[in-house]
Amino acid sequence: MAVENVTSFAVLNYAGLLYTKSNKRTPILNSIGAPKYTDHVEFPVSLEYSLGSAAQPAISETASLTAPDASRFTRTQAKNVCQIFHRAITISYAKMSNMGTMSGINIARDVPNPASEKDFQIARQMEAIANDIEYTFTKGVYNLATTDATINKSKGLMNAISTNVVEYSTSTGWTKANLISLFKSIYDNGGNVDDCILLLSSADKVKLTGMYEGATGYLMPTSRTIGGANIVELVTDFGNVDVVMSPHLSAGEVLCYNPKVCAPVEMNVPGKGNFFYEELAKTGAAEKGQIFGQIGLDFGPEWFHGKLAAES
């Protein structure tokens, strides 16, 4: 990655209101529980056991006089890992002292926005980290480091799900019937559909609304001034599901997750906390600093969630 220092001609000063073209929405981060803290890079997300299939016993009184063969139930542990998020900034002294030089249109009494380049750069780096965390929690691929030189990578929800996976035909795309099968699968496997959020791309959100807008049996109020529809909740036989868009899912990627069993897991650095900014040693005429944090996703029992996937 190229070094991008903040200098006078690399980052120009302008007057006006600040906006970003980037999508900063973080629906998973906003919906899951409060952080948990750990001092171990690996952490358990669930301890699992199975009772097996139910059946009607067939035991006579005579047979009951002898104890049956012993049986047992075993447990397995599902786990995830915290990973590092690390960014740095370097702002030259010349740039910091040159905030009065502005480019673009300047009108009398205009002032540069932002007033502090350092504060602006730190805040934007934190926003970028939040975006990276949201992507990781959505689609992160698991990896456990085995040496100091290898990388810990936290598993995201899309890759954590193995039980409730409903496939759809690539020729037709996913359908309303696929959604019903998904909710049924979560319910049948012990999940609580009432607590779930259906997360999908903006394209699939439009598709979902179109499935219900004007459909037979779904009556819309008559109005001369209001048109259109916006499906924000689905009422199903298995529970009510909120509908939310994600900037990190592509068309055809549909995730149904239960935020009540999810939580971020953080690792604090002693005396510093987590996701902190600190100054670095100076090697020249510049302010240097870094932002460091470690976080992973506790996604709980994976069968509490589900997803739609194209046929392989």
Domain ranges in the chain? 27-48+75-104+113-218+227-310
Q: What is the mean pLDDT of the chain?
A: 93
pLDDT of residue 246: 97
Q: Is 121 left (phi over 0), alpha (psi -120 to 50) or beta?
A: alpha
pLDDT of residue 186: 98
Q: Report CA-CA distances (Å) from 285 to 10, 43, 209.
A: 16, 43, 56
pLDDT of residue 220: 66
Residues of the chain with pLDDT under 70: 1, 214-221
Over the stretch 20-39, which tens digit does the pLDDT of each residue have?
888 889 999 999 989 999 99
Q: Specify whether the CB–CB gap between 271 and 158 falls below 8 A.
A: no
pLDDT of residue 299: 97
Residue 123's Cβ-side half-sphere holds a number of Cα atoms within 13 Å equal to: 8
pLDDT of residue 262: 97
pLDDT of residue 312: 81
pLDDT of residue 225: 84
Q: Is 161 exposed, middle or buried (0-12, 13-18, 19+ CB in 10 A)?
A: buried
- In angstroms, the CA 269 to CA 292 distance is 9
Find all residues with CB under 8 Å of 252, minimum gap 6, and list them: 173, 174, 201, 204, 308, 310
Is the overall model pTM greater than 0.85, yes or no?
A: yes
Give the CA angle between residues 112, 18, 27 to the nearest 5°.
150
The phi and psi torsions of 308 (rounded to 5 degrees) equal -95, 140
pLDDT of residue 3: 86
Torsional sign, CA 62, 63, 64, 66: positive
In the chain, the N- to C-terminal Cα span, in Å, equals 35
27-48+75-104+113-218+227-310 folds as phage-related protein like fold (3.90.1690)
Over the stretch 158-202, which tens digit does the pLDDT of each residue have?
999 999 999 999 999 999 999 999 999 999 999 999 999 999 999
